[in-house]
Each structure stands twice: as structure tokens, then as C-alpha cells.
Chains A and B, each alone.
Chain A
Amino acid sequence: MATTITQPAQPPAGKRASGRSIVLRNVGHTFTDRGGNAVHALADVSLQAQRGELLALVGPSGCGKTTLLELICALQAPQQGTIDSEPAVLMPQRDLLLPWLSAVDNAALALRIAHVPRATARSRAAALFAQLGLDGFEHSHPAELSGGMRQRVAFARTLLSGKPVLCLDEPFGALDAITRAEMQEWLAGALAREPRTTVLVTHDVEEAILLADRVLVLSPRPGRVIGELVVSAPRPRARTDDNVIALRERALELLSRGARS
């Protein structure tokens, strides 16, 4: 597979450094599920993301979104087509924090894996905590944190991997509506301060439009790109902005047409 290994090139300083970060050409993938059935997850997906761009993928459940992220993160090799991506890190829907580590140690996990000494790793993670609205929770254990807090720690862990591409798999899918709205605002702020190329997978069309520079709509399985929406509305965006509402209608229309075809 053609995954370029340009190691932790720190993310581009400017919000929009030029160049392509991710390029997928005609990617198709079939996997075998637990019951031994072949699942045709993706068919002929081509897409690209520019450095620093936030690309959202929306589609019905089971449209191969998670498979797509795993391919970008090089957890699997695609069976058809090619993927060319800067090193990518996955943030799964569930936070998967390690219950025996404090919040700051969970966030510093990637640094510890990279053999950064414990004290240095902790202080680098703690520095990020203030930025992410986590100060005061450094020494809490995951069980003591709310769902939203846990996702913030998981996001800190993702950022501290130092990889230029973030793959967020329904990061707020398990949260209640109010926390979810808060977290969307928080993520927009966090990415404005720490710009990275981001692929956000969600089934929430509104979330995609509020956060993304560009939204790709996927069809039901096998997933194909059936529409692209460029979101040019200025940030911060509100759910009630005319522009946001219009794009949401357009995306829902694409989704339902995809479901019928």
C-alpha cells in the first residue's frame, strides 16, 4: 500500500498550508464479518483532503465509514485502489481510555509509546489540558469523568500523537444532545487552535455542516461518494444560520436519494 511515511511532521503552522494530505483513488474493500459473511463495505471511493482541511463524511449506518477511516489509518490495506495519506491517528466513537491511568496519563499515552520520559510526557499533556478546558482534571481517573470530559481526554490523546491527520469516528455519537452541542463547539475551537487535517465521520448531517469545510455524502453499503457540499459559511456557525439550514436540506435530500437508488 502506498502510505507515505513522513513521520510526525508537526501540523502546518498556518490554518491553510497548501498541499494534499489524503488522496484515495478508486478504493474498494470487502471484509468478512464475525458470522463469516463477506461484506462489501466500499466501492470505488475517490476523495482527497487538503492539509488543514476538515472533511466530514456522512452516510447511513453501515455505509463503510469506519472501514474508510481504518484504511486511512493504515489499520488495513485496501483491496482495490490506492491510498496516499500522511500518518493518521484514529479517535474511535468510544473513548477507550485506560481505566488504570489518570486523565493526563491517558492523554500522554502516545508520548509514552514514543519513549518520551514519563515526567516530560505528563507535562506536555498537562499543557494541552488547559487549552482543551480540562484543567483541574489531570489526576482524575476515567471513571470519575463525564462522557464529554472523557471525549476531550480522548481527543487530547489523539492530538498528542503528533500525527498530521486526525480520523474522528463519530466522536460524539454516544453523548446526549446538550453535551453533544457543547462538544461540537469545543471541537471547532480546539481545531482552530491546533489545526490538523481532519476526517470526521458522522451520521449527524447538522454536525457535519457546523464543523466541516467540505461534506461528502456516502451511499448505503457498499459506500460510494454520491455528493459533495462545500461549506463556505463563516465560523462560528449556528444551527439556525440560513446557509446551514439550506445545506442540511440538500444533504438530507442526497442521503434519501442515495437510500432509494
Chain B
Amino acid sequence: MSRAARSLLPPLALLAIVIGAWEAYADSGATSSFVLPAPHSVAASLWDNAGFIAGNLGPTAEEIVLGIALALALGFALAVLIHFSGVLRRAVYPLAVGSQAVPVAVIAPLLVFWWGFGVLPKLAVVVLICFFPVLVTTVDGLARIERDQLKLLRTLDASRWQAFRFAELPAALPAAISGARIALAVGVIGAYIAESQTVTSGAHAGLGHEINADLTALQTPRAYAAALVLFALAIACFYALTLAERALAPWASRPGGETP
């Protein structure tokens, strides 16, 4: 069996079991199709509404992909500031934690007031939700550099900046990407919440917006079809991050490789 087949088979087999059970349960008549549509009707709806769903995928994918990228940059930058300055650590860290407790609905009107009915306010929400895991894992990654490593660099006459550039920065990269993986899990839901909480103009308002509209209109199969696309998007982003890690920090996934 090829390597690709070996890594694809288990998740596909599990997916087949889940879909089979779902189909059997939905067909048994235990629930209404408004509550739980059968997989075959979700698939049919996906096929029939492919263009509509693809149109809504555009803004949502933009919010998630761009949002994670910006969150990675913001979380990393804040982590570096916190790492270098005790004052900033005391000033920024509690506020960063607190920012995660603010319900999106509270700030959504302000974001719309600033940035209008386009993608920007949703992007801001995704960034706000996603920067936090990146911040935490990167701060930890930076703190995990061994004191002996820094001592060694000092005897090689490295300045504080050079110690950062040669040792701490590369060591923190895999940690930041791990943070982005966690952020991805909350980021997809974040995009949905952002779309739910903001008014959007235009024909394609995003998958989250579409799901809410479809559920209200009892178009449950199409809501499920859109959710399925979100599901696939999350998986695709996860693997994209794995590839990014292999490109940016190949030592982290190399056998026997360890981060000092």
C-alpha cells in the first residue's frame, strides 16, 4: 500500500462509518428531515447549490485564511514584545486574556461602524479570537530556550538581538505554528460567529450567514451542505499549516529533531 493510501484510508474509513450510521438513523424516521437531513439529501443539495455555496465560501475562506495569517503575525509580535519586556508582559498579558472573554456581539456594531458591511469586520473578529493561542504558545516557546544555550551564545559574543535571531526566533516558530493549529479550530467557528453578528451586503455574505438564513427558512439540507464545506475547509487549512511548518521549521518534524 502506498504511503498516501495508508494515511488516507483510516480517516476515510471512519468517515464512511459515520455517514453510514447517520444515513441509517435519518432513514429510520426517528427525526424529521428538517431537524436532521439524510446524507444523500445533503449531497444532493450540495450538488444542486454548488455555485451558491462556492460563492459564499469565498468571503468565509478569506476571513479564515487571512484571519489566521494575521493572527499568527499579531500573536507572534506580541509574544516577542512580552518576551523582551517585563513591563509589557504585565501590561499586555492580562488584557489579552480578557479580550477573549468579550462576546463578539458587543463589539460587532462598532466594527461594522468602522469598517462597513464587507469582509473587514469579520476578519477583525477572527483575528481577535485567533491571536490568543498563538500568543500563548509562542511566549512559552520563547521561554523554553535553555539558559545554557543563552550563556553559550554570550561567550560567543552574541548581542541580545543576535541571541534572539539565532536561537530564540527559530525555536519559537514551531510553537507559533502549533498555536495557529489551535487557532484554526476556534477560527472557523469565529468566522461563523462574526458573520452571524454582523450585517453584510452583497449576494454572497459567507457560509455562516448562509447557514443561519437556511436554518430559518427550513432549508436544512443546504445548511448541512454549507457546514460540510466549512468542515472540509478546516481540514484543508490544518494540512496547509502542516506544510507551512515543514517549509518554515523542517527540524521540528525531522525524526530525532528537538528544540532547545
Contacts and interface: CB of A to CB of B under 8 A. Distances in A.
Contacts, number: 65
B58 interface: no
B151 A100 contact: no
Given A90-B151, A143-B257, A96 B156 contact: no
A98 B260 contact: yes
A154 B253 CA distance: 23
A181 B149 CA distance: 26
A73 B155 contact: yes
Interface string A52-84: 000000000000000000100111000000000
A141 interface: yes
B110 to A, nearest CB: 42
A22 B157 CA distance: 19
Contacts of B250: 100
A157 B254 CA distance: 23
B152 interface: yes
A167 B155 CA distance: 10
Interface stretch (B20-28, B36-44, B162-170, B184-192): B162-170
Nearest to B157: A113
Chain A CB count within 10 A is highest, among B152, B249, B251, for B152
A75 B156 CA distance: 11
Nearest to B162: A113
Contacts of A151: none
A96 B251 contact: no
26 contacts: A70-B151, A74-B155, A75-B151, A88-B155, A89-B156, A90-B151, A90-B152, A92-B148, A96-B146, A96-B260, A99-B254, A99-B258, A100-B251, A109-B156, A113-B156, A113-B162, A113-B166, A143-B251, A143-B254, A143-B256, A143-B257, A143-B258, A144-B256, A157-B156, A161-B155, A163-B155
Given A96-B148, A110-B157, A143-B257, 10 more contacts: A92-B151, A96-B146, A96-B260, A98-B167, A99-B260, A100-B250, A143-B255, A157-B156, A161-B156, A163-B155
